[in-house]
Amino acid sequence: MTEAPFKSGFVTIIGRPNVGKSTLLNRIVGEKIAIMSDKAQTTRNKIQGIYTTDSAQVVFIDTPGIHKPQNSLGDFMVKSAFSALHGADAIWFVVDASMPRGRGDDFIINRLKEIKNTAIYLLINKVDLLAPKDLLNVIASYQEDAPEWAEVFPISAREGDNVSELLDNVVAGLDEGPQYFDADQLTDHPERFVIGELIREKVLQLTRQEVPHSVAVVIDKISRESEEKIHIQASIVVERPTQKNIIIGKQGTMIKEIGTRARKDIERLMGDKVFLETWVKVEPRWRERPQALQTLGYSEDDY
């Protein structure tokens, strides 16, 4: 019997203030959230929590720009926050069952209408405050002038009602993918770590059996080049010149393809345009030499 492939993906949670987004995330990933969100992150989007099981991993992305009142934001910020939604594997739009649909909801709904090819879930939270007979009316009020919801889940983040069903549902819709984080690994630089894994994933996918899993990716530098662009320098580290040649490919075609695919994923993670520069380095037996790891950037700082 073959094992089912590991699945992973990114879920963006949005909703106006106070609808219960943090409560929901806390229920799903517990104390990890606090630890993650304390860390300074340089990007507009941030990893807010990670849910890991034996067979799947869901990375929850927060897009802070969306939750802020519209008038304190430039058009640009709003646009870039929403641009992050386009690449998510799923979007959870959370509303408060105890309040009528309001302007804040409409603002988000209007932007959600522009999103194609992404499953958008409508989560009706705080159903514990609602008489069961009113639920259908609440759902109906979010079906008018709205995108077609992939799923509608009445939940209570506080009581936990229907939350595990929601998680099972979202995991079922994810594609095969790598485990970006160890189940209990928390890092000072979550985005750095995930960027490395996204690049490594593309190397392994595209070179198939030709390059061993020992390939490492080190993020040398992340800097903001301009208001709208992040510059990332990454090294792909292999042990033999033959592996380097495979990764570079004929006239650089392979490394170009790796870079393009990785850049798209990184852009959706960060919610910004990215300029990705990749170098391939040969470091014989790098795994056996602790100093090599340090020069390569695998210092304790990065974990």
Ligand X SMILES: Nc1nc2c(ncn2[C@@H]2O[C@H](COP(=O)(O)OP(=O)(O)OP(=O)(O)O)[C@@H](O)[C@H]2O)c(=O)[nH]1
Near ligand X in 144-163, by CB under 6 A: 156-158
The reply to whether 125 sits in an annotated binding site is yes
> Smallest distance from the beta carbon of 171 to ligand X, in angstroms?
21
> Is 230 marked as binding a ligand?
no
Find, among 264, 269, 274, 273, the residue nearest to 12 by Cα: 269
If one asks whether residue 130 binds ligand X (CB under 6 A), the answer comes out as no
> Quick one: which of 8, 12, 14, 20 contacts ligand X (CB under 6 A)?
20
Q: Strand, helix or coil at 227?
A: coil
**Which amino acid is residue 23, in one-letter code?**
T
Distance, in Å, from the CA atom of 126 to the CA atom of 155, rounded to the nearest integer, reads 6
Tell me: is residue 169 an annotated ligand-binding position. Answer: no
124 forms beta bridges with 95, 154
Angle between helices 21-29 and 163-172 (to 10 degrees): 80
Q: Among 41, 295, 90, 294, which Cα is nearest to 189's?
A: 41
Q: Which of 43, 115, 128, 142 binds ligand X (CB under 6 A)?
A: 128
- Residue 279's region, left for phi above 0, alpha for psi from -120 to 50, else beta, is beta
Query: Residue 34, interface with ligand X (CB under 6 A)?
Result: no
* 19 binds ligand X per the rule CB under 6 A: yes
Site membership for ligand X, residue 129 (CB under 6 A): yes
Q: How far is CA 274 from the centre of its chain?
A: 15
Q: Shortest distance, CB of residue 46 to ligand X, whole angstroms?
A: 13
Closest approach, Cβ 14 to ligand X, in A, equals 9
Among 32, 44, 46, 67, binds ligand X (CB under 6 A): 67
Annotated binding site for GTP: 15-22, 62-66, 125-128
What does the binding site for ligand X look like in residue numbers (CB under 6 A)? 15, 17-23, 67, 125-126, 128-129, 156-158
